[in-house]
Structure 1
Amino acid sequence: MLHYALITGATSGLGLAYAKWFAGKGYDLIMTGRRKEVIERRAQEIRDKFACKVIVILVDLAQEDGVRKLLASLEGREIHVLVNNACFGFRTSFSDTDIDGLKRLIYLQTIAVAEITHYVLRGMKERNKGIIINISSDGAFAVVPGNVTYAAAKRFIVTLTEGLHMELMGTGIRVQAVCPGFVDTDFHENNGMYVDKTRKGMFGFRQPGEVVDEAMKEFEKGSIVCVPDKAGKLVKAMAEYMPKKMYYRFADDFVNKNIRKN
């Protein structure tokens, strides 16, 4: 029986970086995505480099039919690693955001994550072994104007992961929520946001592979909620300890200076 690592949203960015990381550790892969030509090309590159089996499932996990299709495709396959990475976002105020977009984001980041995890976890519990990695964001700790729904959904992922950790203590199943800050992916461009990816320093953009390497080092140390960069740790601390009125002003100013909608 092949040992699969299932990575959702594996076409590019963090999902692709996780796919390469686990392929390098000897796992066969199941990669999901929506862009057929791109993900097929990436999958072949991984096959060629790591000599592993890669199954590509074209699916939109922001809708119920997509989740059903994925779960049906997993029948008879042992999933030893799950990376819930599929995501999208938008940079508009809550009231100006299209309601169908809101529903899709909430479904993708809450119901889809919970349902896929629930399905995979059954097999892991039978084997008493497995890894579940849920990709959240430092936005889970620090909502800013324009990402209200995104931040709330990412907070759900952190809470779910912490709860799973407590329920699975004493078993061979490990979980982790990864909460990165700015990562150099196509996330912002795909969602109509402009950001300066050339900026340096604490709030500069990091490469996906670098973030994954750091998160996996923390995973091996037993980290449950991983904030893999200094900027994210600062944002988390500010949101938790800064007086709220002061934080609200800071968040509004930061967005106006660093992120704007095209």
Structure 2
Amino acid sequence: MHQTAVVTGAASGLGYELMLLLVKDNYNLVLIDIDEVKLEDIKNQLQKTTSCNVEVMAVDLSKSNSAQIVFNTFKNVEIDVLVNCAGFGIYGSFVDNNWEQESAMLNLHIITITHLTKLVLQGMKDRDHGKILNVSSLAAFQPGPMMALYYASKSYLLSFSEAIANELKGTGVSVTVLCPGPTKTCFQEVVSSASSENKISFNMACPKAVAAYGYKAMLKGKVVAVPGNFNKFLANLPRFLTRNRTTKIVRKIQEKNREKTSSVADFENDVSLIKKSV
């Protein structure tokens, strides 16, 4: 029998790539995204190429109680895999940014993901079977001036995932948190073009490769998955430097890349800045 996977942010980027990997493993799918047109296109294509059942739901997960709405819609479905991939970023000074956008991002990254995980988790635990993949970011490992709330929300997701993964040991349910660095997805279309997330091309990862890495980690029950050796180095940087120092480094990189497109030379300068600080 087909197992069932729920994927949020499934219409594009990492969510879409993870959905394709689930299709290859013959999962029935529940695809959640704000983009109804793309969801319907994906459903129509999958119905032509796979025997898996595909359900879609267009919903803004940044809205209050959206997790409960999703869960109620599919409450009769036994969910074997939950992929929390929906998210977006906001660049700029905290004091100057728009609160409505910021609160929507916080609600999506923290409240909705936490609530949906809680709702789905009970059934998984009762059946002694299930896998959860939360998509965080390399940003989770340090403070991020000029994207303060984005970094903080991703840090929450990392900490939350690690904690409940520990609580669930021995239950048959695993939790994995994927923490990619810059990845060529539609994230770049949403976050401000001034952000260094949009300026670094040398270290920009392929979404297919990142998704495959995270998917493999989920299947193995690995808790924290950081794709790429340089990203692993950056994730561990706060262990060797003070948090104050790493915060200053992130600020300098953001500001240096604000007015120009980063080249390989620019990226190497950023690496040099980091190495001089270690």
TM-score normalised by structure 1 residue count: 0.91
Distance 1:37 1:83 in 2: 21
Are 1:257 and 2:260 matched, yes or no? Answer: no
2:135 partner amino acid: I
1:91 partner amino acid: Y
More strand by share: 1
1:149 partner amino acid: L
Match of 2:50 in 1: 50
Number of residue pairs aligned between Structure 1 and Structure 2: 258
Match of 1:155 in 2: 155
CA contact (8 A) 2:3 2:80 kept: yes
Residue by residue over 1:142-200, the C-alpha shift from the partner in whole angstroms, topping out at 9 and shown as x without a partner, is: 22221111111111111111111111111111110000001110112123325246x33
Match of 1:77 in 2: 77
Flag the 1:48–1:85 CA change in 2: closer, same or farther, 3 A. same
CA contact (8 A) 1:13 1:208 kept: yes
Distance 2:25 2:189 in 1: 31
Flag the 1:261–1:101 CA change in 2: closer, same or farther, 3 A. farther
CA contact (8 A) 1:92 1:261 kept: no
Give how far 1:245 is off: 4.4
Distance 1:123 1:222 in 2: 18
CA contact (8 A) 1:60 1:67 kept: no
Match of 2:182 in 1: 182
Give how far 1:2 is off: 5.4
Flag the 1:28–1:157 CA change in 2: closer, same or farther, 3 A. same
Distance 1:259 1:30 in 2: 39
Distance 2:174 2:244 in 1: 38
Residue by residue over 1:49-84, the C-alpha shift from the partner in whole angstroms, topping out at 9 and shown as x without a partner, is: 333111110001111243232121111011100001
Are 1:23 and 2:23 matched, yes or no? Answer: yes
Give how far 1:121 is off: 0.7
CA contact (8 A) 2:199 2:260 kept: no
Give how far 1:235 is off: 1.6
Distance 2:112 2:243 in 1: 32
CA contact (8 A) 1:59 1:66 kept: yes
Unaligned runs of 5+ in 2: 262-278
1:127 partner amino acid: R
Match of 2:236 in 1: 237
What is the percentage of aligned positions where both structures have the same residue?
A: 29
Match of 1:3 in 2: 3
SS at match of 1:48: helix
Which shifted more, 206-215 or 188-197?
A: 188-197
Match of 2:67 in 1: 67
CA contact (8 A) 2:139 2:151 kept: yes
Give how far 1:253 is off: 2.0
SS at match of 2:159: helix
Flag the 1:96–1:119 CA change in 2: closer, same or farther, 3 A. same
Match of 1:215 in 2: 214
Match of 2:38 in 1: 38
Match of 1:141 in 2: 141
